[in-house]
Copies of this chain bind each other. A is one copy, B any other.
Amino acid sequence: MNQVLTFGEMLMRLKTPGYSRILQADSFEAAFGGAEMNVAVSLAQFGDAVGCVTKLPQNPLGDAARNTLRRYGVDTSRVLRGGPRLGIYFFEKGTDIRPTNVVYDRAGSAFATAQRSEFDWPALLEGVRCFYFSGITAAVSPELTGALEDALACCKKRKIPVVCDLNYRGKMWTAQQAQPVMDRLMQYVTVCLANDEDFEASLGIRAFDGDMSRGIEQKEQFCEGMREITKRYPSCTTVASVLRNIHSVEDSEWMGILLQNGTFTETAVRKIHVMEGVGGGDAFGAGLMHGLLHEKKPQEVIDFALAASVLKLMIGGDLNLSTEAEVEAVMKKGAGAKLSR
């Protein structure tokens, strides 16, 4: 099998049409996503074998979520079924000075109420070459934190490398709650993705002052933070970050930095006009893993990851429906300019 395995929740996303406010909407576009599921789908588009572990309710909404994974080539044979409901989030896309607005309705979901004991990791990790999770899964419930710990211990025993996107979510837990948990989990991590507030909120490392309009200007502090991670967690030999200057909902600059075995590699800064600002981090993670799994050179790894990330921002929905060839085309400057015909 030799699959990547990701572990996390799948939510239904209900988006108002176009730029409508929730107050105006009388319909919602339905899609499915969730950090770890997004990573799995993106890897599948790149041509990598990938499966996921999650739990979905035994009803047509759960079926629809599962079918989305299948549609995009993710192995769903390890998806648990049962539990009360599918988590939802409502999405109102902002523009320019009007921020995007998300209303979470994920409490009490099948995944959130799953028990640690439901996950039989020795069986689930059979044939797995790499395990991915993000801080969101750790934040959902203590039972799931426990499940994660079981998974990571099992990975350690089998020498399966572990990738963790810190992915701090202030609406799910506080830094005080997050830090001891993430510290415990980081002991097992091989590759860590850390962006913006993640450093401080998840790990208590000061690397970013919180001003999203000038992240790139703080490159040095980011690098220090990244190095600090590798110091604290010796198993973690690779850290990657996205740095951003965000000027409005659409206008921003992005760059990526990779710290691998003590050496930093960075991309050029890309100026972009975002179409839908969701899932860029997950696409970055998938792009990074794809490069690492295929043993590309550091510059290619980080360039590919950043190109995947910004290309995702031009695609609606949570899922990065881009092929490897499409990402590589974006790696070259000016790729969007020409209509081939």
Contact = CB atoms under 8 A, between A and B. Distances in A.
A153 interface: no
A272 B96 CA distance: 7
Contacts of A92: 60
A297 interface: no
Contact of A249 (B98, B321, B336): B336
A51 to B, nearest CB: 14
Given A23-B321, A61-B22, A273 B248 contact: yes
A173 to B, nearest CB: 12
Nearest to A276: B19
Contacts of A96: 272-275, 314, 336
Nearest to A100: B339
B314 A95 contact: yes
Contacts of A71: 67-68, 70-71
Contacts of A85: 105, 107
A277 interface: yes
A23 B340 contact: no
A314 B171 contact: no
Contact of A314 (B19, B105, B311): B19
Contact of A64 (B23, B63, B99, B340): B23
Interface of A: 14, 18-31, 59-61, 63-64, 67-68, 70-73, 84-86, 88, 90, 92, 94-105, 107-108, 169-171, 212-213, 246-250, 252, 270, 272-275, 277-278, 310-311, 314-317, 321, 326, 329-330, 334-341
State the 4 A-B residue pairs at the shortest beta-carbon distance, nearest first.
A71-B71, A98-B314, A22-B60, A246-B337
Given A96-B275, A97-B335, A252-B337, 13 more contacts: A19-B316, A21-B315, A26-B29, A70-B72, A95-B314, A96-B274, A96-B314, A97-B311, A98-B315, A99-B335, A99-B336, A108-B108, A277-B339
